[in-house]
Amino acid sequence: MTEEVRSIARRELGAVPDEVARVAEGLLHETYRISCDGETYVLQFSSDADESRVDSLRRGARCYDLLRDSEIPVPDVVAERPASDDGRRYLLVERIPGQTAERDITLNRVRNAGRYLAKIHEFRTFEESGWIRFENRRPNVRGFEEGGLAHRIRRTLTEDAAVLDFDRSYSGHAQRDLVKAASCFWMHDPCSDWNVRAKLYEGYRDVAEVGDDFEANEPLYRAETLVGTVAGLVRLNELSEYEAEFYSERILEAVERLEVT
């Protein structure tokens, strides 16, 4: 595999890499760190076994593009290829300074994450329909071109009386986003001796209100997001038998809390 990574580096970077190292810390994708001409890059491969990993690479690249001019630091995408030499997709990006927080979830980092999420949620409506972009680090919209996507959406709604993606209509709800983020942070260190959820909620409240009904809705979103996340990890065979049993018990506790509430 190292030779394949070197081959990709030569093709995409135009130089022979000085160093190639496998990054194995809990990542769903097969990941490599590449040093080349004094710069460092990260290469991630999709899995042959599951198309969802391909989609996650693509979503990651799109998020980097979207957030390019925001205050959130994201890497520059060097190459997003439909397939590598052995048929697998990959994403090559520049490595931004800093260290992954995966094994170092701290109070300050969690609280700051809550603040960032609240800032994103501040922008709920725009004057026109279009593609989201950032100007001066603030979200804005570039309107759809006439005769393009906007026309097709209007035609679909008026002629076919359709509801677009109704089964996903709950996605994007600010309270659900917040609880899902809390679930993901918690899963990095579920046996921590401090309350990661409370700290994330605290950071969010530093910037925005969560609503008077948040305490009542939180148990529902907690149970739902835990089920979805754990089910995805089980499908990808990323959990040991012990971990699967542990999270199953936590899900049952969340459901019981929901029933009591």
Mean per-residue pLDDT of the chain: 77
For residue 169, what pLDDT band results from cuts at 50, 70 and 90?
very low
For residue 122, what pLDDT band results from cuts at 50, 70 and 90?
confident
| CA nearest to 26, candidates 233, 204, 246 | 233
Report CA-CA distances (Å) from 97 to 73, 75, 133, 211, 246.
9, 9, 24, 36, 35
pTM of the predicted model as reported, rounded to 2 decimal places: 0.62
For helices 214-235 and 174-188, angle between their N-to-C axes, nearest 10 degrees? 50
Helices (H), the chain: 2-13, 51-66, 107-121, 149-159, 174-188, 196-207, 214-235, 241-260
Contact 90, 7 (CB under 8 A): no
With 80 as the cut, is the pLDDT of residue 7 above it? yes
Tell me the C-alpha distance between 216 and 151, whole Å: 40
Number of CB atoms found within 10 A of residue 69's CB: 16
Backbone dihedral region for residue 92 (phi beyond 0: left; psi -120 to 50: alpha; all else: beta): beta
Handedness of CA 202, 121, 134, 27 (dihedral sign): positive
The residue among 207 and 156 whose pLDDT is bigger is 207
pLDDT tens-digit map of 89-116:
888 998 887 666 555 678 888 898 888 8
The residue among 131 and 63 whose pLDDT is bigger is 63
pLDDT computed for residue 245 by the predictor: 92
With 80 as the cut, is the pLDDT of residue 28 above it? no
With 50 as the cut, is the pLDDT of residue 167 above it? no
Structure tokens at 17: 């890499």
pLDDT computed for residue 124 by the predictor: 57
pLDDT computed for residue 30 by the predictor: 82
For residue 40, what pLDDT band results from cuts at 50, 70 and 90?
very high
Tell me the C-alpha distance between 49 and 252, whole Å: 29
For residue 165, what pLDDT band results from cuts at 50, 70 and 90?
very low
Helix (H, G, I), strand (E, B) or coil at 19: strand
With 70 as the cut, is the pLDDT of residue 244 above it? yes
Q: What is the residue extent of each domain of the chain?
A: 2-94, 107-124+167-260
pLDDT tens-digit map of 207-241:
999 888 898 889 889 999 899 888 888 887 888 88
pLDDT tens-digit map of 126-139:
566 666 666 666 66
CATH topology of domain 2-94: Phosphorylase Kinase; domain 1 (3.30.200)
For residue 47, what pLDDT band results from cuts at 50, 70 and 90?
low
The residue among 158 and 177 whose pLDDT is bigger is 177
